[in-house]
Each structure stands twice: as C-alpha cells, then as structure tokens.
Amino acid sequence: MLYTTTLILKLKRDLLKTTQILDIESIRKDFPILKREVNGKPLVYFDNGATSQKPQVVIDAVSHYYEYENSNIHRGIHTLSQEATNAYEVAREKIKSFVKAKHSHEIIFTKGTTDSINLVASSFGKKYLKKGDEIIISTMEHHSNIVPWQLICEEKGAILKVIPINDKGELLLDEFKKLLSNKTKLVAITHVSNTLGTINPIKEIIAKAHALNIPVLIDGAQAVPHTKVDVQDLDCDFYAFSGHKMLGPTGVGILYGKEAILNDLPPYQGGGDMIKTVTFEKTTYNELPHKFEAGTPNIVGGIGLGIAVDYMNSIGIDKIEKYEHELLAYATEQIKQIEGVRIIGEATNKASVLSFVVNGTHPSDIGMIIDKLGVAIRTGHHCTEPLMNRLNVPGTARASFAFYNTFKEIDIFIAALQRAITMLK
Amino acid sequence: MTIKEKQEEIIEEFALFDEWMEKYQYIIDLGKDLPIIDEKYKVEENLIKGCQSKVWLHAELVDGKIIFTADSDAIITKGIVGLVISVFSGHTPKEIIDADLFFIDKIGLQEHLSPTRSNGLLAMLKQIKMYAIAFSTKANA
C-alpha cells in the first residue's frame, strides 16, 4: 500500500514535470545562490518563510544604484538626486499596482512588517486607544503582531483579546464574533501563519469587523510572496509586509493604509522628509506618504523591491501560487509516510509551509543533522511562542517552499530527514 | 587527570572519526546514554534558556571540588553538554577559573558555540565559570 502510494506520487510528480506550471530550470538560473554548496552538498533552501533568495536582477539593481545613481532623494536640486527620487517613486508605484492599492501615497515605505505594525500600534494607539478599550489579535500571531499591541495596551490601559484556534490550526470564527464589541478598537490578524501555513479567511474577518466600524490590520508578511493580494477587494484598513520575503532586499517593507485613516493618524517618528514647515513653536507635517517616512529611507531597498515586484510579475503570482501548492501537497504526502512524523498545522487552506515534529526527537537535532546534508530548514518556536504553548510543542521543524524549489529537492529533504531520524532514534 | 589532559583525551578520541556522521552519531549516543542530572535539579533556577533548546546546569561543592550535573532537551546539545561537564566536573574552583576550553574548537564543534545557534551552550560555559568564581569567593570569605 505504502509502495503503491509512493509510486503514484512519483508518477504524479513526473507528470507534473512534463506539464510544468513554471520553467523551473530557467527560473533557478536567475538565483545565483542556488548554485552553491553547503557542507559539501548542493544547497536545498527550504527556509523561505524566514527570507527568500534574491534573483540576479535585484542584486544588479542594488549594485547599479550604488555605482550610478546614489544620492539623497526628494529634496535634491541636482540630476542624480532627481534620478534617485524617480527610481524610488517608480518603485512605490509598482508596489501600489502589485497589491492593487487605490493611490501610491497609501504605500508607506518602512523597515519591514515589524516596523509597519509598530507604526500603526503607536500612531493609532496614541490617537484612539483609552483605558478599557480592546484590541483583538489571534493565537497564531507572530511576536511582531503581539508585542507592539501589548506595549501600547500597557501604556493606555487597554486590553488584548485573543481569537482561539482549533487543533488543525484554524481560527475559531464564532469565538471571534463573540469577542467583537463596542470596546473593540482594532483587529490585527495574520493573513498566513508563518508557523502553520494556515491561510486565514481575512475577507470574512474584515467584513465582520467593519459591520461594527472596527478597522482591521492584516499582517501579510507570509502572504504577499505566495498569493495574490488585492487590498481594495479585501477592504482592509492596513496591510503590512516585508520586502526581503518577496525577493527584495532586507530592511525594506511596506505599510499600506487607506488614505482617510492614514491622514487621520499622527506621525510615527519626527525628522527630515516628514515635515512641511518647522519653527520652534510649531511644525506642520508633510502630506502622505512622506508624513510617515521620517529621515533618509532605505532608498536602494525600495528600488530593489520594485525590481523584485517586476520579477514576480514576469513569473505570475497565480502560477507561483499554483506551483507552490503542488510542492506542498507532494511534500506533505511524502512526509506522512515517515513513521513518527506529526504535521503541525493541518488547515484546509494552507500556504507552502510544512511544520512538523518527530516523536522522540527535538526539532533542533533534526535541523542540525539535515543542515549537514545541505538542507536548510528552520527549527524552534518561529517567534510564535503563545502558539507553541497552545499546541503543546516546544517548537517545530519547518520547511517553507518558494517557487524556485523543486520536487527533486523535496526528495532530498525527505531522504535527509529519514537519515536524521535513524541517527537520533 | 587535569582539565587540559581530559580535553586532550577527547580530541584524541574524536581524531578516530573520518566524517561528520560518525562524530555526530557518537555525540548523539553520548547524549542518549547520559542521565546527567538528577530530576530534582531540573528546575527553573537551573535552566539556561536558549532560543532553540534548553540546558539545565547544577553545581555543588564537594570536598573543595565542584561537581557539575547538566541536561538538555535536545540530544546533540546534551551530548556536547556531557563532554563539557566531564571536562570540568571534579575540579577546584581555581582550576576551573584558570582553565582554557579548547577541545570544542579542536573537534570541529565550534559552530555549536556560535551565539546564533542560541542553544544555551555558550551561556552554560559562562555559567560554569560563574559558579567557579562564586564558590571560590565563598571559600575565601
């Protein structure tokens, strides 16, 4: 039986190869790091949830900027400054189109998802939160979507409410509805769980919150690289994501916010670029998006992210999603055949994240051994300690796939995992 | 045996292994075989929490020598912890304070001491020295 299943899966895989959704061989050539070896073995990079690899075009854009365009943006009178400003603003425009925002000034450049959420927690909290108010998050949030809210709640005497999950790792929507009240000031939920891969029904969540005029922030760090995001269709008030998880450079991310609500919020940080006029008596703030972009930004990061978006568009997000889904299905079937493996996170609707534990072994031991075999996965609590406590595991081993990964790499990973288990048992 | 001699012995032993597999298998087996801490010492105050794995370390002074016992929830860490304990345990505080730890580098396990591993090992080594300093201060008081 086991053999037959394997055989069918292998056949399915071969079939997929012939009717390939993506030209993987050619795509892999675009990512120079995929050619390298680790510990004498070809690198199998399954830590895409932590950060993605970068295509040559992004790497080139970064060095080209420093070689030909480098200068400070927005206030320069000279040609270089204008060229750099243009490149930066073109990138903003590309990102706006990528997530289907209405205006490019609704796209705020930040340091990353964490920074974006901190911005909202601070500015929104300052303006709207008071003692006894409530913020709703969920059990599966990354620490980045827990701690900023805890900080502002502590400051304001507000209360954090948490949506529970079932054992499969899905949000309990009925419980969510019960948590909503006239005390709720904001709902902050992840689109895709970084630990479990669960894709949350955020459109429904947003609609339920909006019915009571409660704004919603979505943590999209794990969603934007893998699935189509349309912020207008979702109708979310804020949507936060990172550049480095979607082929872009590190240190740059985005906060999307609806124009009206962004105009309403006080600035997050003070400094250059965010002002209109400054006197010692009174400062007037610049317009969106600059109001939230104090200081010289990560110019090259923004430009690189724009190129990353171009690259993703050239592949097609629909194809990426479909192919990654095939990878996840194949890996899930394969891993299920290994005795003692328990998958953590079995939501019906899942992105390309495969978290698991192996009975009688510690995730870090698995991670260390398969690293020796060239396979990079992540182990630990994945910055979701409350979730680990809820699921009663000390941590998990997590393989997370990207569209440049292959079925063959999954075979290598499975073989490495089997070898690790043999050593550890 | 001195701390130095014990380390040299471990280095000699590891020289027999040709490849990483054998080395890791040895450490894993060491981790499995060693019940290196009394359950009653596996308490919060003896816990060194790494991001990846946990290490418990207990120390007591017996006849002027420090006896270390330790444990970890991860088996590779536990094996390495076992080696470290075998090197330091049974020595006077002064010997431990003056000792130079070199065997981990020599047997090619230095990556486990990197702060990015955050497995509690590096913190445990610091803790061992701290215990030695604390016991020696107590003895001199």
Q: What is the pLDDT of residue A422?
A: 95
* Whole-angstrom distance, CA of residue B57 vs CA of residue B43: 9
**Structural element, H or E, at residue A157:** none
pLDDT in tens, chain A (425 residues): 455 666 666 666 665 554 588 999 999 999 999 999 999 999 999 999 999 999 999 999 999 999 999 999 987 889 999 999 999 999 999 999 999 999 999 999 999 999 999 999 999 999 999 999 999 999 999 999 999 999 999 999 999 999 999 999 999 999 999 999 999 999 999 999 999 999 999 999 999 999 999 999 999 999 999 999 999 999 999 999 999 999 999 999 999 999 999 999 999 999 888 888 888 888 888 899 999 999 999 999 999 999 999 999 999 999 999 999 999 999 999 999 999 999 999 999 999 999 999 999 999 999 999 999 999 999 999 999 999 999 999 899 999 999 999 999 999 999 999 999 999 98
Q: In terms of C-beta density within 10 A (0-12 exposed, 13-18 middle, 19 or more buried), how is residue B9 classed?
A: middle
A153 is catalytic: no
The mean pLDDT of chain B is: 87
Q: Do the Cβ atoms of A364 and B119 come within 8 Å?
A: yes
Give Cβ neighbours of residue A395 (< 8 Å, ≥ 6 apart): A362, A363, A364, A379, A380, A381, A382, A388, B52
Task: Give, in degrees to the nearest 5, the angle at Cα A54 between A53 and A57.
Answer: 160
Q: For residue B51, give the chain A residue with the closest CA.
A: A380
Hey, CA dihedral for A147, A148, A152, A158, is it positive or negative?
negative
Q: What is the least distance, in Å, from the CA of B36 to any CA of chain A? A: 18
Between helices B3-14 and B75-88, what is the axis angle to 10°?
140
Q: Measured between beta carbons, which residues in chain A are less than 8 angstroms from residue B28?
A: 365, 423-424
A261-284 per-residue burial string, b: 16 or more CB within 10 A, e: under 16 = ebeebebbeeeebbbeeeeeeeee
Q: State yes or no: pLDDT of B3 exceeds 60.
A: yes
Q: Which residues of B are catalytic?
A: 51
* Whole-angstrom distance, CA of residue A180 vs CA of residue B90: 61
Q: What is the pLDDT of residue A313?
A: 97
Closest Cβ–Cβ partner in B25, B28, B51 for A380: B51
The verdict on whether omega for the bond into residue A289 sits within 30 degrees of 0, i.e. cis, is: yes
Q: Reduce the DSSP state of residue B74 to 3 states and report it.
A: coil
Radius of gyration in angstroms for the set of CA atoms belonging to chain B, rounded to a whole number:
15
- The beta-strand segments (E) located in A280-421 are 283-285, 341-344, 353-358, 375-376, 378-380, 396-400
Tens-digit pLDDT profile for residues B30-40: 998 876 688 88
Question: Two tokens at B14?
Answer: 């590891």
Q: Do the Cβ atoms of B53 and A364 come within 8 Å?
A: yes
* Whole-angstrom distance, CA of residue A119 vs CA of residue A181: 24
Disruptive mutation site among B22, B30, B53, B116 for chain A (greatest number of A CBs within 10 Å): B53
Residue of A383, A399, A414, A417 with catalytic role? A383
Hey, CA dihedral for A53, A58, A60, A62, is it positive or negative?
negative
Report which of A109, A75, A74 is spatially closest to residue A249, judged by C-alpha positions.
Answer: A109
A 30-49 residues with CB below 8 A of B?
39
Q: In terms of C-beta density within 10 A (0-12 exposed, 13-18 middle, 19 or more buried), how is residue A320 classed?
A: buried
Q: Do the Cβ atoms of A364 and B77 come within 8 Å?
A: yes
CA terminus-to-terminus distance, chain B: 28
* B119 near A CB under 8 A: yes
Q: Do the Cβ atoms of A364 and B25 come within 8 Å?
A: no
Tens-digit pLDDT profile for residues B45-91: 888 877 678 889 999 999 999 999 998 889 998 999 999 999 999 99
